[in-house]
Every structure is written in C-alpha cells, then in structure tokens.
Amino acid sequence: MKKHQTYGASTNAVRTYSDGLKQRRPLSVPILQSVNFEAESTAKLGKDFRAGASEVYMRFGHPTAQAAGEKIALLEGAEGGLVFSSGMGAISTTLLALAGSSGGHVIAQREIFAQTFTFLDTTFRGLNIETTFVPADQILHIRPLLRPTTKLIYIESPSNPLLKIADIAAIARIAKEHNIPLLIDSTFASPALQNPISLGADVVLHSATKFLAGHSDVLCGAVVGSRQLIQKIQRMQVLLGTILDPHACWLLLRGIKTLGVRVREQSTSALALAQFLNEQAVVERVTYPFLQSGGSYKIASRQMRAGGGVVSFELKGGLPAAQKFVDALKLISTATSLGGVESVIEIPADLDFSEEDLGDAAKTTGIALGLIRLSVGIEDVADLMADIRQALASVASEGTQADKSLALTR
C-alpha cells in the first residue's frame, strides 16, 4: 500500500488501507465489494488483465464470484465453475459461447425451461443457428439428426415443469461418440441429488436461484465443466456482463451451506405428498421422479439420490379445478419460482402460455392447461398435507356433487 499519512482528508476518505483481512481466515467468505483492484505496476495490471485474473475488474471476475464458482464446481465434481446474474444469464451466455456462430446447429430436448426454449427458437434462429427439438422420450434416437454443424446437445433433467427424466449416461455416450458437448440444465436436481459430470455430461447449468441458493432471496445462475469449456464460457461472460455481484455471491454461498439438509428434507416431504396425491380420487395424474409407479423411476433412481422438491400433478376437472384448488390453499403460497424453503405452487400454463394460443401451446409443449407445479419447502410435512387435503376437499365438494368419482378417498 502506498503511504497515506501525508494526504488530505478527501484523499484519505476515498482510500482503503486496511490489510487486516488478509491475515485472517474467516469461515464465511467475505463479500469483496470492489469493482477494481490496485496493481503494483502498469506491467502487473496488464499481465493480470490478459491472464483474466480475478482481482482486476469485477466484470471479468472477482474473488467472491470465484469462491462461489469453485464451490459449485467442487459439489458437481467439475474442474471449473462460474456464477451468473441469473439462470438465464448462465444459459444464454453458455449457448452463445459454445454455439453462437451463424450456420451452427443445436439438438435440444423439447421439454426444457420455457425461456431456454424461446432463446433457442427465436434468438438463436434469428442468428441463423437452427435448433432441432426432440421430445425427451425420443432423445436416445438423435443419431440421424446430428449434422457436421451440430455444436452441442442440450437436455434438462428433471425438466421444468413436466419432470421428464433423461438418461444422462446414455445420451452422454452418443455425444462422446460424435465428439459433441452434452449440456444439461440440472436445476431441479441440484448438486445434492445428481452429478451429471460423473455420468459423462460436459457442462452442467443451474438456475442457482432455486435449490442452490434456496431461500427465494437471490437471483443467480451457475455453470460448471472442464477448465477448457469454462474458459470459453468465461470469455463470453466478460462480453455479455453476466457475472454475479459480490453480495449475491455471498447469499448464494450462504445458501449452499445448507443445500444437503434442505434438499433431503424437501425430497422426503415431496415424496410423501406425491404418494398422498396419487391416492386421491380427485387427482388425475401425479408426476414425481421417485414415485415407483411412475414411468421414470428406473432411470431417475439410477442417476439421482432422491426425487427432489418438485411434484407436478393434474386434477380431474382440468384448469378450472386446478385454479379452484390453488386458490383454496391457505399455507402454500401461489407464486412462481421454486426450490426455496417455502412451499410455492403455480399453474405453469397460466404463466408461460399467451391467452390466444392456450390450446396450441398445451399441445406443442405437452403441458396440460390444468397442470399444477408444487415446489415443496421445509415446513412440517403434516401442515403441508393438511393444507392440500382441505383444498382438495373444497374442489371435490364445490359444484361437482353430481360426480361421485370426484369424492376424496379420505
């Protein structure tokens, strides 16, 4: 540090001289809220700048983001990791970095996060990058669809909101055969339940807003992968300015400390609620990766440690019944997003479909108009079950007395 005793008050007011923290080893990563860092010389600044050091300029990288990125890479078993200002920041930056040149081609699972689909279907298409969308149940038959220009394969498992399960290891084998990177949005599993890198995926993406941060108080995203791919993605992150700010990094790091216990509890409660819903006569269909009667249990139980915190279901009576049910809930909040400690519920079609083409949208996305997505928090499961039971009862009784099949089984 340069000498400071001889400077005036205005100079001292804008200068920080404490070297104290460097001698300490805080158990909580400090928020390093500095946009730039002083270098010993112009030569050193130039060297650090070119090397992409994390103590140069905040948009290029900064120590709190580095700590968060390394933490998630560690949890995923990856060489490197980056954190972003949102899940979509992570996804758009990664797609642009790995497939963002005109004439390229992408293969993507059809059942993916709605805005990821829009990005590929409109933004990428506008840049002359074509995406072939493949339904999850056809994703192992993509060999004939691969082209010399195919830049990446993109999947999401479990998918939002249909909870489709992709056989990650099997798709990774196809990707490896053709030397094409496999990207997976693993938001719904979080690193606590699934580690796609160990199954052969090349890049794992997260909306860290959800389970990783876990407290519905910070918007963030993450990407992990090999050092080489992460470097490429980081160069695009610098251009787009999608890095996560230090305060948000700190909230993310703080949330991650309890990831394991939260997700275990959420999974246990979600399984109990899925089983309960599955027994109700008023319920048409329940989807949950670890429901043994479900079609995806075999693959899900092979690649996930538990089923996660999200349950999707439909009621007999479709959208009107779904709306009645959701509005009758007293404890579970009607809100979007998921993965937080509070239970929230939404009807995805209400959010993602425009009023004009509801029917078409339901057909092309496979998302029924009355589909309900429940994200289970860490409240007492008995309270959640009681809330669901009373709301189901109000659906069954209201205006449907004639239909005996809608009566609750208990």
Ligand X SMILES: *Cc1c(COP(=O)(O)O)cnc(C)c1O
- Which parts of this chain interact with ligand X (CB under 6 A)? 86-88, 113, 156, 160, 185, 187-188, 207, 209-210, 219, 221
Which residues are CB-neighbours of 328 under 8 A, at least 6 positions away?
390, 391, 394, 395
Nearer to ligand X, 233 or 392 (CB): 233
Shortest Å distance, C-beta 180 to ligand X: 21
Nearer to ligand X, 204 or 219 (CB): 219
The sign of the CA dihedral 87, 93, 98, 101 is: positive
Shortest Å distance, C-beta 338 to ligand X: 6
Backbone angles phi, psi at 48, to 5 degrees: -65, -40
The whole-angstrom separation of Cα 299 and Cα 136 is: 13
Two tokens, residue 367: 């998302």
Shortest Å distance, C-beta 219 to ligand X: 5
Are 156 and 112 spatial neighbours (Cβ–Cβ below 8 Å)?
yes
Nearer to ligand X, 86 or 280 (CB): 86
Shortest Å distance, C-beta 113 to ligand X: 4
Shortest Å distance, C-beta 231 to ligand X: 23
Shortest Å distance, C-beta 221 to ligand X: 5
Are 189 and 44 spatial neighbours (Cβ–Cβ below 8 Å)?
no
Task: Map residue 201 onto helix, strand or coil.
Answer: coil
Nearer to ligand X, 88 or 319 (CB): 88
The residue with tokens 């490197």 is 80
DSSP label at 244?
P
Shortest Å distance, C-beta 184 to ligand X: 10
Which has the closest alpha carbon to 123: 141, 106, 143?
106
Nearer to ligand X, 119 or 250 (CB): 119
Which has the closest alpha carbon to 366: 166, 117, 111?
111
The residue with tokens 């005036």 is 8
Task: Map residue 169 onto helix, strand or coil.
Answer: helix
Nearer to ligand X, 189 or 384 (CB): 189
Nearer to ligand X, 206 or 324 (CB): 206
Residue nearest to ligand X (CB): 87
DSSP β-bridge partners for residue 36:
57
